[in-house]
Amino acid sequence: MNRENVTHQLIGKKAFVTGSATGIGRAIALESARRGADVVVHSHRDDDSVRSVVAEIEALGRKSVAVVADFRSPDQIDRAANRALEFLGGIDLLVNNAGITFNRSFDEITSEQFDVLFNVNIRAPFFLTRKIALDMKTRSYGVICNIASIHALEGAPEHSLYAATKGALVAWTRSLAIELAPHGIRVNAVAPGAVVVDSYKTAMPEFDEDELAANIPAGMVGKPEDVAQVVAFVLSDDARYILGQTLVVDGGTTAWMSFHDGFRRPSQGRFGLEYMNLL
């Protein structure tokens, strides 16, 4: 497919991307606009970052507005959905990107932290989607993309609670896709691996991108745009035969058998000789 066709994939579509003031969500909102969609962006606070995304989308000749909502609150989730529907006059594309990344030892997690993470990472997309899917059903068309994580697929220390929310998102994606398919609505998820966003350096002042890249088969750490390109494809009608799937965008991280630490070197062992008659 040539680039000209790609840049017109979403012309005439109306999109709502949650958690789109920064990072992966911002990249998804901007890529959707580049491909022709009008986009409602969302943040949990009203600041320059969310306003700048709106300005960039408008500079591309697309309609945009910022919706500010704290997804810990059911009332604010509902108001955000209503505002997005009102501004766009209906929603074709929904990207549930808003979420909290959280790491804490299993035996240190409080019940309050548990509630916040599940409320934002799974309860909010569940009820936001239910509201917007009602509008999609009236037109027998819609695409929903949930942003999961490779933590839903692989284990890591201090991520049991976060992984639980993302695992729930993957399972929900699969089941919801079957339920909504008869209404012309496709549901999929995208699971990013290591992607450099501003919060990396805030949470880890000593973060070394080169050191992390050395442990990724692709030899590099992902950028938000790497995820946005895949999400934009999933949202387009070019992906019409894909539903209920979780597409992994991780530079080969989950494909690698991690106990085999020499993925860049030839193996010194020779297995199966007696079975393959190569002695």
Give the tokens for residue 138. Answer: 């009236």
- Compute CA distances 6 → 32, 35, 36, whole Å: 11, 7, 10
Assign domain 3-276 one CATH number from 3.30.360.10, 3.40.50.720, 1.10.443.10, 3.30.470.20: 3.40.50.720
Where do the structural domains in the chain lie, given as residue ranges? 3-276
The three-state secondary structure class of 200 is helix
Q: Are 209 and 222 in contact (CB under 8 A)?
A: no
Pinpoint the alpha helices (H) of 103-197. 111-118, 124-139, 160-180
Other Cβ atoms within 10 Å of 193 Cβ, number: 22
**So what's the pLDDT on residue 120?**
97
Q: How far apart are CA 157 and CA 162, in angstroms?
A: 11
141 given a catalytic annotation: no
**So what's the pLDDT on residue 260?**
61
Give the tokens for residue 264. Answer: 């860049």
**So what's the pLDDT on residue 206?**
81
Give the tokens for residue 190. Answer: 């995208």
The three-state secondary structure class of 264 is coil
Give the tokens for residue 198. Answer: 């501003």
Which of the residues 141, 162, 200, 241 is marked catalytic? Answer: 162
Beta bridge partners of 66: 41
Q: How far apart are CA 180 and CA 171, in angstroms?
A: 14
**So what's the pLDDT on residue 207?**
82
Q: How far apart are CA 113 and CA 119, in angstroms?
A: 10
Q: For residue 51, what is the DSSP state?
A: H
- Compute CA distances 24 → 20, 84, 193, whole Å: 7, 20, 12
**So what's the pLDDT on residue 269?**
55
Can you give the pLDDT of all 279 residues of the chain as single tens digits?
Answer: 445 556 679 999 999 999 999 999 999 999 999 999 999 999 999 999 999 999 999 999 999 999 999 999 999 999 999 999 999 999 999 999 999 999 999 999 999 999 999 999 999 999 999 999 999 999 999 999 999 999 999 999 999 999 999 999 999 999 999 999 999 999 999 999 999 887 777 777 788 899 999 989 999 999 999 999 999 999 999 999 999 999 999 999 999 877 665 556 665 655 555 555 544
